[in-house]
Chain A
Amino acid sequence: MSPKGRHAAGWWALILPAFLLMTAFYVAPILQVLAISVTEPSPGLGNYERLFTSESVQRVIGTTLRIGVVTTAVALLLGYVLAYRIALAGPRAQRWWLLAVLVPLWISVLVRAFAWVTLLRRQGLVNEGLLAAGVIDQPLSLVWNEFGIIIGMVHYMVPYAVLPMLSAMREIDPRVLAAARGLGASRTGAFLRVFLPLSLPGVIAAGVLVFIFSLGFYITPAILGGGKTLMVAEWIKLQILDLIRWGLGAMMATVLVVAILATLAVFSRLVNLRRLFGAGG
C-alpha cells in the first residue's frame, strides 16, 4: 500500500465507529421499514395499491401537500421580509434581530404548540379580545383545523426560512443596488430587477428546506389539528400504534422518504444544495 493509501485508511478507521453506529441504529431500521411495507400483512405490493384505491390514503396525502405548500409559501413570505430587514440593518442591530429569530428555536415545539392552543381556542386570548372589541359576535374557530396547524407550522418554520435567505442576501454587493439607483431605477425597480433575482437562490433553498420539514411534521399538527385534520406523520403513527397495521404505516413512511428525496433531486439541479446544508461553496 502506498504511504498515501495508508494515510487515507487511517482516516477511515477514525470514522468507523460512527459509521457502524449509524448503520446499526439508523440505516438498518429504515431498511426494515421498507421491507415491512412489502411483506405485511402479506408479501407483495398490496400496500402500495392503496395509494391509488384508498380514498383515505389519498386524502391524507392531499392534506399534507396542501398544508406543506401553504406553510412554505407563508413562511417564505414572512421570512423574506424579515431577512430583508435584517440584511439592511447595521451590524449591531443585525445581532439583535438574529437573536430574536433564533430564540423560538430554543423553545420546545410542544410548549409552542400548547401556547398556540391557549391563544387560539374559543375562550383564548384572541377570540376574547376580538369579542370584547366588538369585532366579532361568535368566537372564530382558529384551532383544531388546518388554519391552526398552518399557524403553528409557519411559526416553527420562519427561522428556517430566514437563515438561507439571509445568507444569500448578505452575499449581494450593496454597491450593485446603489448602481441600479444611480442608473435610473426607483427603489422598487432596484429591488425587483436586481435584489430579488440575486436573492432567488436563497429563496429556493429556503423553500426546499421548509417544504421538506413540513411534510414530516408530527407534534404541531397532532396538537393544533386536534385529531380532526390528519397529516402523514400522524396518520403513520395511527396505523402503527393504534390500528396495528404495520404494512400500511411502513408504506406511507416509504412514500414520505421517496417524496423528500425526489424533492431534493429536483431542486439540486436548481440550487447548490451542498452550500445550503453548510458544506461551503
Chain B
Amino acid sequence: MSGPAGHALSLQGVAKRYGDFTAVQGATLEVASGEFLTLLGPSGSGKTTILMMIAGFVEPSAGRILLDGRDITALPPERRDFGMVFQGYALFPHMTVAENVAFPLRVRRMARAERDAKVRAALDLVQLDRFADRRPSQLSGGQQQRVALARALVFDPALLLLDEPLSALDKKLRAELQEELKALHRRIGRSFINVTHDQEEALSLSDRIAILNHGHVMQVGSPEALYERPATRFVADFLGKSNFIEGEAEPDAGGMALRRGRARVVARGTAPAGRALLSLRPEKIVLLPAEGAPALAEDNVVEGRIAAWSYLGTGFAVTVETPDLGAIRVHLPAWRSPVAPAEGLAVRLGWSRDAAVVVAEDAAMAPQGHAA
C-alpha cells in the first residue's frame, strides 16, 4: 500500500448555498501531497459540507476542486477514487468483514487472487486479520472503525477522507485510535482530510488545521501556529481556552501596550491606535500569593482575589477577579503548586510580554457573516 506519493488537492473559492442559506462561503484551501489536514469547527460551521463536496456527494454552487491540477468538480463520487471513512462507519451489515473490505475491489472488477491478497494486507494493516469472517454487528466500535479504515484504504485511494472518524468512541479508545491513525498516516504517506469538532483530536493528529465558522475558513495553519498565534477571537476561543483583554492600544518600545482603566498591559506585535483585543492563554500566567512571596519579575503584574477554583488532577483551574481587567482564568500545575487555592485569597498574577497576542474581533474577519 506504499505506492507513489500522495496527491495534492486544491479548493478554489468553493461555495455551497441551499436557497437563502449559505453553508460554505468561498472556501480556498490547499492540501499538499501526503499532508494530514483537519477541518475543525463547531456544528453548522460547514466543515462536513466541504468534505462532502470533496467526496462528490454535494455539488458546489460555485468554485472548483482540483486534484493534482485536474478539475474534478463535476466528477461523480465513484469516479474520484477517494477513500472515505463515514461517520458511524456505514459498514455493510449483510457482508462479513472481509467482504466489506473487498467491496471497493469487487466494484473495480479486480481478479480474485489479487483481491484476496489485498484484502488480507489491508486487514493486517489494521490488525483485524483474525476477524475476517465476522459480521460488523459482532465487532466492537473500535474494531468497526478499523474495518472502515481498511475498506477505505484497500484500493489505494488518492486521498483518504475521514468524517468524524472517532466521535462514536469513548475517550480512552479515542486516544488509542488517534495514535494508530497517526502512525497509519505516516506509514502510507497519503493525504488525509479529517473533519472533527474535537479540538484535541485536531491538535494531536494534524499537520495543518483549517478552522471554520459560519461557513468561512477563519484561519489555516499548523496546530502550533494556530494555538500560539490565533488571528481572531473565535480561533483563540475555539482552539484551547483563552482570556480576552480589551482596551485602547498605544505604541510601546518593545511592541505594543493596551490601556484599560488604571492597568497597562504590554504585549508583542503591533496594533493601530484605537480599540484592540488581546488573547492570553490561562497556562501562560504565573500565580503567587499577594503576601509573603518574592516579587514577580514579569512584564505584566496585576493583583486580584480568587473568585473560584477547581482541581483537575493535572492542575488547578482558577478564576481571579481583578479590579481593572475583570475575571482572568489561570491554569497552574497541581504538582508543587506555589499557591494553595482558596476562595477570596489575595493573589498576584504575572505574565511576560510575549504571552499575550493581539487578535481581531470576528466581525472584522467575516463581513458577510452573522450580525455579531
- Interface contact A181-B88, CB-CB below 8 Å: no
Contacts of B108 in A (CB 8 A): 184
Are A193 and B84 in contact (CB-based, < 8 A)? no
Residues A181 and B78 in contact in the complex (CB < 8 Å), given A175-B86, A193-B103, A193-B107: yes
Residues of A within 8 A of B161 (CB): 182
CB neighbors of A among B288-345 (8 A): none
Among A176, A182, A183, A186, chain B packs the most CB atoms within 10 A around the CB of A183
B155 with A184: CB separation less than 8 A: yes
Which B residues lie within 8 Å of A193 (CB)? 103, 106-107
Q: Is the CB of A182 within 8 A of B88?
A: no
Query: Is A260 interfacial (CB 8 A cutoff)?
Result: no
Chain B nearest CB from A119 CB (Å) reads: 42
Tell me if B84 and A179 are in contact (CB < 8 A): yes
| Most B-side CB within 10 Å, residue of A173, A175, A182, A189 | A182
Q: Which of A151-210 contact B (CB under 8 A)?
A: 173, 175-176, 178-186, 189, 193-194, 197-198
Q: A193-B103, A193-B107 are in contact. Are A183 and B151 (CB under 8 A)?
A: yes
Interface centre among A176, A179, A181 (most CB of B within 10 A): A179
What A residues does B83 contact at CB under 8 A? 183
Complex-state Cα separation, A182 to B78, whole angstroms: 5
A183 vs B83: C-alpha distance when bound (angstroms): 6
Given A178-B57, A179-B84, the answer on whether A184 and B107 have CB atoms closer than 8 Å is yes
Instruction: Give Cα A116 to B144, complex, Å.
Output: 54
**One of A173, A186, A197 near B78 (C-beta < 8 A):** A186
**Cβ proximity bits B64-107 to A, threshold 8 Å, 1 near / 0 not:** 00000000000011100111101110111110000000011011
By a CB distance below 8 angstroms, the chain B residues around A178 are 57, 77, 86, 90
Bound CA span A197–B170, Å:
32
Distance A67 CA – B326 CA, assembled complex (angstroms) = 85
Question: What is the predominant secondary structure among interface residues of chain A facing chain B?
Answer: helix
The listed residue with most A CB atoms (<10 A of its CB), out of B87, B103, B108, B152, is B103
Contact indicator A184/B57 (Cβ below 8 Å): no
Interface size (B, Cβ < 8 Å)?
Answer: 27
Query: Which residues does chain B contribute within 8 Å of A184, judged by CB atoms?
Result: 78, 81, 104, 107-108, 155
Cα–Cα, bound, A198→B91 (Å): 12
Centre residue among B81, B104, B161 by max chain A CB count within 10 A: B104
CB of A52 to closest CB in B, whole Å: 43
State whether B103 touches A180 (Cβ < 8 A): yes
B123 close to chain A: CB less than 8 A? no
Whether B55 is near chain A, meaning CB under 8 Å from some CB there, is: yes
**Docked complex Cα distance between A258 and B126 (Å):** 54
> When chains A and B are docked, how far (Å) is the Cα of A23 from the Cα of B78?
60
Chain A interface residue bracket vs B: 10 to 19
In the complex, the answer to whether B55 meets A182 with C-beta atoms within 8 Å is: yes
Q: How far is the CA of A181 from the CA of B80 in the complex (A)?
A: 10
From residue 346 to 368 of chain B, which have CB atoms closer than 8 A to chain A? none
A194 contacts B92, CB within 8 Å? Answer: yes
When distances are taken between beta carbons in the complex, the residues of chain B under 8 Å from A189 are 78, 107
Find the B residue at minimum CB distance from A175: B90
List the B residue with the shortest CB-CB distance to A183: B104
Q: B90 touching A176 by the CB < 8 A rule?
A: yes
**Chain B residue contacts of A194, Cβ below 8 A:** 92, 94
Provided the pairs A185-B107, A193-B103 are in contact, do residues A175 and B88 lie with their beta carbons within 8 angstroms?
Answer: yes
* Complex alpha-carbon distance, A251 and B84, angstroms: 62
> Bound complex: CA of A184 vs CA of B84, how far in Å?
10
Contact check, B103 vs A182: say whether CB atoms are below 8 A apart.
no
Q: Which residues of A contact B55 (CB under 8 A)?
A: 182
* CB-defined A-B contacts under 8 Å, sample of 7: A179-B92, A180-B107, A182-B56, A182-B86, A186-B78, A193-B107, A198-B93
Using a CB–CB cutoff of 8 Å, the interface residues on chain B facing chain A are 55-57, 76-78, 81-84, 86-88, 90-94, 103-104, 106-108, 151-152, 155, 161
Give the 3 A-B residue pairs with the shortest CB-CB distance, closest first.
A179-B90, A175-B90, A183-B104
Beyond A179-B92, A189-B107, A194-B92, 12 additional contacts (C-beta under 8 Å) are A176-B90, A176-B91, A179-B84, A179-B91, A180-B92, A182-B57, A182-B82, A182-B84, A182-B161, A183-B78, A183-B103, A186-B78
